[in-house]
Structure 1
């Protein structure tokens, strides 16, 4: 192997445009739950710039793969929260006799 031809894929910084603390902190949380992650953090370069930088360092697996897995985990968490909310809201409506009431996403 030539010197310089190996690129360490276990660490990377990802820049997400049009995002803020909401997504970045949620992703940081899910990433830190993954045992493959040795470090994860995010920064917002400037308040007027709608962009976040997420730094991911892993044990061995490619940081890109681990970030993708965490995005999928976060999506499943959000779906669970939405399903739980919808079920509780439906139960509330039926107890209060408010069947015509609805919440639009």
Structure 2
């Protein structure tokens, strides 16, 4: 069984359900589920991710998103070295989300 990383009450602190992610990005459910399982939304969607985060009152910058993606890349490398699945958040923790508290 896979563990989905559910932060507090929402996925990526932006959505309550995987279906909301599916609708927000215009992707199918399996794609949205895969993003949750990996703990990362692909870099190609950064503009939309920024839009959604700001709509939720969170601050996010291109720099923080870039760092998040680089940390995820390093995490994937580490998981491969250890021979574990990327969904194993106990073995190799997920990087912190790039979003910061309520926007001012």
TM-score (norm 1): 0.31
Q: Which has the larger radius of gyration?
A: 1
Bigger fraction of residues in helix:
2
TM-score (norm 2): 0.31
